[in-house]
Homo-oligomer: A and B are copies of this chain.
Amino acid sequence: MQKIAAFEPPTRLLMGPGPSNVAPSVLQAMAKPLVGHLDPVFIQLMEEIKSMLRTAFMTKNEMTFPVSGTGSAGMEFCFVNLIEPGDDVVIGVNGVFGNRMADVAERCGARVTKVEAEWGKIIEPAAIAAALKNVRPKIVAVVHAETSTGVLTPVEEISRLAHEAGALFMLDTVTSLGGCPVKIDEWKVDAVYSGTQKCLSCPPGLSPVSFGPKAMEVATHRKRKVQSWYLDVNLLASYWGQDRVYHHTAPISMNYALHEALRLVMEEGLESRWQRHKDSHLALKEGLAEMGLELASQPGHQLWSLNAIKVPEGADEAAVRKRLLAEFNLEIGAGLGPLKGKIWRVGLMGENSHRGKILTFLSALKHTLKS
């Protein structure tokens, strides 16, 4: 038989686009003994997770729970349950994740109208309004925090436009939840998904989602079955709801981790957590300015949790990242698509949104750029 050594990961400072580092108690939660997926104590844990997720999303939606897959599974969950072949969908595209939404929606049989904006800029309500003059979509979907560009699109006006047009409003909050205001009920968001490995500071593996009453109405009155059995909200509602009917075997240890991560979010309080992410972002910008560096994303709409830094002239983008990893155990992210080679993506998420870590990054970057 093969002889393979036990894996001993280095201790990285994860300041890329996620995963971010997590609290020691979150790591330790996963090392706790397993229980069954229908055990009364696990069911109690599920209820507490649902309740804390409702607080984090600022919603009363009953159907608020973690999908057993990473953030992209949550995106797919939202589309497969709401779309039937031939449905029209309007999607804001200003980065990788808007494009991914369009791809996922098309695979569900949707006719997609893309409302595009330059990468690094927000989706303008006026552009959505213009699209809604030509199409009456079932869904209007946008990415709140574009992880690929570091831009935060304000969504209240877009939500209003969507509802005026009789559409559901869907939101990607993968990189915003827990790091800046995400107000699902106040903003009238009908369907939302997120990830665990960003501002919630939990390892990747689950995707918190929430469906409001109108989305549930659509999902439960479909003409044909949801194309994914694994992600069918009608089946999942029987497991995560009060019936407790076996569906799939839930990832027990990942749910332990999410429970602990959410507990820490509750302990800190949402407003304090948002303020901390804002302060960190401003501290980073100040430090960068002293080095003559600036952010690439649209001023006034820069995301606190993910900072797209313009690579200065003369610097070798990839070499800098490699050296930061090799010499400082410090991971930052590369640009994607049209921004490849032009930006570094620096995440200040959850556990890593602290001044000490920002100073570490700034010093390491300064050292690397000058030598």
Contact = CB atoms under 8 A, between A and B. Distances in A.
Interface stretch (A70-78, A162-170, A274-282, A285-293): A70-78
Interface in A1-26: 1-4, 6-12, 14, 16, 18-19, 21-22, 25
26 contacts: A1-B267, A2-B51, A2-B55, A3-B266, A4-B52, A6-B260, A6-B263, A9-B41, A10-B33, A11-B33, A19-B37, A21-B33, A27-B30, A27-B32, A30-B31, A68-B73, A68-B205, A69-B73, A70-B250, A71-B249, A72-B249, A76-B230, A203-B251, A204-B249, A205-B253, A227-B227
A188 to B, nearest CB: 24
Nearest to A18: B249
Interface in A131-165: none
A4 B36 contact: no
Interface stretch (A103-111, A120-128, A294-302, A309-317): A103-111
A257 B253 contact: yes
B36 A7 contact: no
Given A1-B268, A30-B30, 16 more contacts: A3-B266, A4-B263, A9-B33, A9-B256, A10-B41, A12-B33, A19-B37, A28-B31, A30-B31, A36-B331, A69-B73, A70-B248, A72-B230, A73-B248, A107-B226, A195-B249
Interface of A: 1-4, 6-12, 14, 16, 18-19, 21-22, 25, 27-37, 39-42, 45, 48, 51-52, 55, 68-73, 76, 100, 103-104, 106-108, 195, 197, 203-205, 225-230, 246-254, 256-257, 259-260, 263, 266-270, 325, 331, 336
Contacts of A251: 70, 203-205, 251, 254
A16 B36 contact: yes
A27 B31 contact: yes
Contact of A29 (B7, B18, B230, B252): B7
